[in-house]
Structure 1
C-alpha cells in the first residue's frame, strides 16, 4: 500500500483515485460530513421543472429565498443575507470587520485563520481543553476576551471535535464580548444535525445582540455542496448593508436560489435526516465503547472525533486500512493541537457504518 504523503479532505476523491488507484465513485467518504441520505427527494422531483428559469437573471435581492430561509429558521428575512456558500460570507464579513486580532476556538476549520490573514489581521487560538472533552468553559475563555481582540470565531458544533456550546453559554460569551467591543462570528454548518438543536443554535440571539453573525449553508445537512448556497443571520442591519454593498451582484445562480426554497420546505426529509443521524450516532458510540484502544468525545454533530490509545497505531494506519476497503476517513493530525493519534469520521448509512466500525475494530478493538 502506498504510504499517505499528505492530508486529504472530504472533497479530495480525485487525489485518492490518483494515488491509491481506487475509483472515486466506489469510495465511501466518511471524511466529507455530508448527509448520507443525499439531496432532498422533493428537490430531485421538482428542480427540473424550473430549468427555464435560467433564461433570466436571479432576483437581485433574493427576497423570496430569504423569506423561505426565514420561515425555516424562524427569523426575520431582513436579518438574512445569502451568498455563494458560507465560505463567501465568512470572507465578506471578515473583510468588512477588518479585525486587527481575532481569537479562534480550536482545533477547528483552518479557513477562518486564512481569511483573517487575507484581511490583514492576525489570529490566535483559545485552546479547547481535551481533559474537559474539548468543551468551552466560559470563565476560562473570559480571561482572553479583552479590548485587544476584535473578533471571536466559533464553529458550533465544532469541526473536528463535534462538541457544542449551549445557547445559554453563548449568551454569556456575547455579554463579555459586548463589554469589550468584540464581534462574534458563529459558524453553524453542523447545528442541524444536533439532537438538541434548539439548545445550541444562536439564531434567536441575533434578535437581541448586534455583535453576532450566525452562518449556515446547505453543503452538509442538505447534501448540496455543488449548489454553493449559504446564508448569514445578523440583527445589525448596518453591518448587513455593508456586506451587501461589498458583495458581487447575482452571487447565487437562479437554480440554486430556487433549490433553496424547495429544500428548506421539505419537512419529511429534514425529519428523516435528524432521526437517522440521532439513532446511528447513539448506536456507533455504544459500539466504540466496547473498543479498548480508542477514546471519543461526545458528539453533537454528524461526525465523531476519535483518539487512538494504542502506541503502535496511528491515524495513517486507520486511513490506510479504510482505503483498502474503499472507505475514506479524516486524519486529523493537521488540525491545530491534534496529532497523528486523532481521526474523524462522519455518520453514513447503517450498513456502511458497520463496515467502517469493523475496520476500526480490527485495529483498535
Structure 2
C-alpha cells in the first residue's frame, strides 16, 4: 500500500523519499512556508550546552511569558509537547464516557478518545453548507444529548471543536460559538476548542474564546506554536484552563519534562516574533486567494473550500494524491477523514512560485486523467 493512503497525517516526507527516491515539494503540512524564524532557531540551538541538565519541570519562564501575553494567571497555562500532547492529557484526565467530534476534523481527538475508552459520536459537516457549523448548533447539541448509534449511552461529556477547522479551514461564527459554550456550561459538557490555527486568521482576536473563559469553567482552549512559527519538529503547544483542578489533573496525565529545554527557549523567542507573524499573515491572505481562484478555474475541480487559515480543502473528479506524488508534490490525502473519500485533498498555501507549480501539476494530472482543460 502507498504510504500516502496509509499515513494518518501529512508531512511524511520520509515515507515519500523512501517510496519515490527524492524529497517532495510538500503541500501536505499546513505550516508557515517561510521556515522557522532565525531567532527561534538560534534560541533552541543555544540550549545544546545545557543538554546535560534536566529541563525546568514547571517551564516557569515560558509559563510566565504565556500568562502575560494572554493576560491570564500562571496556573491556567499547561505547556506540552505540541497541542497533541495536551489533547491526550485532557482526555485521560476527564475520561468522558462519550464525546462528540465534528467530521471531518483533526484525527487526534478521536484517537485520544478511543485510547481512553470513550465512545465517539461524529457530527457530519456538509459540503453543501461549505462545511460550516454556524446554523447547526442545535443539531450538534441534540447529538450530544443522544446518539442513536449508542442507545445505551447518556449525554456526551465532551465536545471537540477545531477553530479554524482542519482540514476545511472554516470557522464557526462567534455568536454560534458563544451559544454552544453557554449550553455546554449549563449541561456540564466539557468544550475543548482547538485554536492551533488561530493566528493564521486575518482577525484572530475577534474569533478566540479567550476573553469568555472566565465565565465558563467548562471551556478548555488549545494553542500551538507549530503552524505559524513553522516549528513542528520542536514540539510545543499549550492548554488554557479555566478550572484549576482540571489543569492539575491534566498535568498528572502525562510524563514529567514533556517540554525540552530547547522547546522552551524556542517558545520564548517565538513570542517576540510579532513582525514575522504579521508579514506572513498578509502574504498568506494574498496567496490563499490566488491559489483558490486558480484551482477553481480548472475543469475537474468542482469544490475548493473558502479556507480562512493557510490551507484549502479540494474535491477533484479524479484521485490526485498519487499522480501528484509521481510529479514530486506531496499533498494531504483526505480519504481517511470521516465524511471524505479519495477525491479530497488538502493543500497548504505556499509561496507564489510553489503555488504555481502545484496548479500546473494539478492541471497536468487532470488532463492525464481524461479531463480536458479550457
Counterpart of 1:98 in structure 2 is 95
Task: Return closer, same or farther for 1:270/1:74 CA change in 2, 3 Å cut-off.
Answer: farther
Kept after mapping to 2: 8 A contact 1:7/1:331: no
Aligned counterparts of 1:142 and 1:180: Cα–Cα separation in 2: 10
Question: What is the RMSD computed on CA atoms of the aligned residues?
Answer: 2.0
Aligned counterparts of 1:73 and 1:193: Cα–Cα separation in 2: 17
Kept after mapping to 2: 8 A contact 1:86/1:230: yes
Kept after mapping to 1: 8 A contact 2:88/2:112: yes
Counterpart of 1:301 in structure 2 is 309
How far has the Cα of 1:175 moved from its partner? 1.0
After TM superposition, the structure 1 = structure 2 runs for residues 128-207 of structure 1, keeping only pairs within 5 Å, are 128-136=125-133, 137=135, 138-146=137-145, 148-207=155-214
Task: Return closer, same or farther for 1:277/1:70 CA change in 2, 3 Å cut-off.
Answer: farther
After TM superposition, the structure 1 = structure 2 runs for residues 145-294 of structure 1, keeping only pairs within 5 Å, are 145-146=144-145, 148-294=155-301
**Aligned residue among 356, 359, 362 for 2:361:** 359
Aligned counterparts of 2:36 and 2:90: Cα–Cα separation in 1: 29
How far has the Cα of 1:144 moved from its partner? 2.1
Aligned counterparts of 2:72 and 2:283: Cα–Cα separation in 1: 26
Aligned counterparts of 1:178 and 1:285: Cα–Cα separation in 2: 38
Task: Return closer, same or farther for 1:5/1:353 CA change in 2, 3 Å cut-off.
Answer: closer
Kept after mapping to 1: 8 A contact 2:32/2:227: yes
Aligned counterparts of 2:175 and 2:51: Cα–Cα separation in 1: 44
Kept after mapping to 1: 8 A contact 2:75/2:247: no
Unmatched 5+ residue regions in structure 1? none
- Residues 60-87 of structure 1: per-residue CA shift (max 9 Å, x gap): 3212101222344443333111112211
Greater CA drift, 244-253 or 168-177: 244-253
Structure 2 SS opposite 1:219: coil
How far has the Cα of 1:104 moved from its partner? 0.5
Q: TM-score, normalised by structure 2?
A: 0.89
Counterpart of 1:319 in structure 2 is 321
Greater CA drift, 282-291 or 153-162: 282-291
Asked whether 1:18 is paired with 2:18, we answer yes
How far has the Cα of 1:283 moved from its partner? 1.5
Detail structure 1 runs of 4+ shifted over 4 Å in the superposition.
2-5
Counterpart of 1:68 in structure 2 is 65
Counterpart of 2:148 in structure 1 is none
Aligned counterparts of 1:204 and 1:54: Cα–Cα separation in 2: 38
- Residues 302-340 of structure 1: per-residue CA shift (max 9 Å, x gap): 1100112x3xx22xxx22332233211112111101112
